């Protein structure tokens, strides 16, 4: 594998796996990697054969932050022209569930990348952090905002203001990590969970993601209205009829995303 981002063969039916592959740079996120991630996720969003996506790195690093050498000499106009914020939005906008499978370091932009995903599976020795303050900047890929929504103001303030790293166990305990597993089982568990999700009704899965994300920034009343409309719309789907018929007939449903 020589490309910095590689879309691997499907590890299971309905599942695609994207691997960041810059081992010499601890999978640092340069512009090429960011663009390829956005490209792959955009393409997979329109691929009917893909129902769930796994995003991973290697056993040493998920992604150890932005590529500092690439940005050290940049000015504000150049940073605007790079449009990094647009790429982050493209990555986060994938309508299909994305599972981050994390071994090693998930720091700075790597931690932010993980937080654009919907589920985070971490190895027991993984390390997280937002150390940007140590090099004179702030988290710029959603770190100050997504982290606060995930773990609360006081934990987020400590993490961002000190720049200290924290363990996967700490991340799990504060609600940043969905599941903690032995290091050697991270990718296998993530693929297994993706396969489990891919076997379910695709329209319902996508509606769950959409409503959950939209509702977290709305009032409870508005969010409940979104949920109500979503479930009502799903009663127009073939998958709803198939799923309930299969339940009544005590058989496995065959969902088609229709």
Q: What positions carry a catalytic annotation?
A: 66, 109, 112, 132
Contacts of 241 (CB under 8 A, 6+ apart): none
Is the Cα torsion angle 237, 243, 249, 254 positive or negative in sign?
A: positive
- Distance from chain centroid for Cα 250: 34
Distance between CA 194 and CA 187 in Å, rounded? 10
Give the span between the Cα atoms of 145 and 121, in whole angstroms. Answer: 21
How many residues in the chain? 258
Longest distance between any two alpha carbons in the chain, whole Å: 65
Residue recorded with tokens 């991630």: 37
CB-based contact 147:129 (threshold 8 Å): no
Report residue 206 CA to chain centroid gap. 14
Spatial distance between the Cα atoms of 237 and 27, rounded to a whole number of angstroms:
41
In angstroms, the CA 12 to CA 4 distance is: 23
Please check whether residue 103 is in contact with residue 123, taking contact to mean a CB–CB distance below 8 angstroms: yes
Q: How many whole angstroms from its chain centre is CA 167?
A: 19
**What is the enclosing helix (H) or strand (E) of 61?**
strand 61-63
């Amino acid at each position: 594998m020589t490309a910095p981002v590689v879309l691997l063969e499907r590890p299971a039916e309905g599942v695609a796996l994207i691997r960041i592959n810059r081992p010499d740079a601890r999978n640092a996120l340069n512009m090429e990697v960011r663009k390829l991630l956005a490209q792959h996720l955009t393409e997979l969003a329109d691929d009917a054969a893909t129902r769930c996506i796994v995003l991973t790195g290697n056993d040493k690093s998920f992604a150890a932050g932005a590529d500092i050498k690439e940005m050290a000499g940049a000015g504000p106009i150049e940073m605007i022209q790079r449009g990094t914020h647009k790429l982050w939005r493209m990555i986060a906008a994938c309508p299909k569930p994305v599972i981050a499978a994390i071994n090693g370091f998930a720091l700075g932009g790597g931690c932010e990348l993980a937080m654009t995903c919907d589920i985070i599976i971490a190895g027991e020795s993984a390390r997280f952090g937002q150390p940007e303050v140590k090099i004179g900047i702030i988290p710029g890929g959603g770190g100050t905002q997504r982290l606060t929504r995930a773990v609360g103001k006081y934990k987020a303030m400590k993490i961002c203001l000190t720049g200290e790293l924290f363990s996967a166990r700490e991340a799990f305990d504060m609600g940043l990590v969905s599941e903690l597993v032995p290091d050697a089982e991270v990718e296998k568990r993530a693929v297994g969970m993706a396969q489990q999700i891919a076997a379910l009704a695709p329209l319902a899965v996508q509606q769950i993601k959409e409503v959950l994300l939209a509702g977290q920034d709305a009032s409870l009343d508005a969010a409940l209205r979104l949920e109500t409309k979503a479930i009502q719309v799903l009663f127009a789907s073939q998958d709803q009829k198939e799923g309930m018929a299969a339940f009544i007939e005590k058989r496995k449903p065959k969902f088609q995303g229709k």
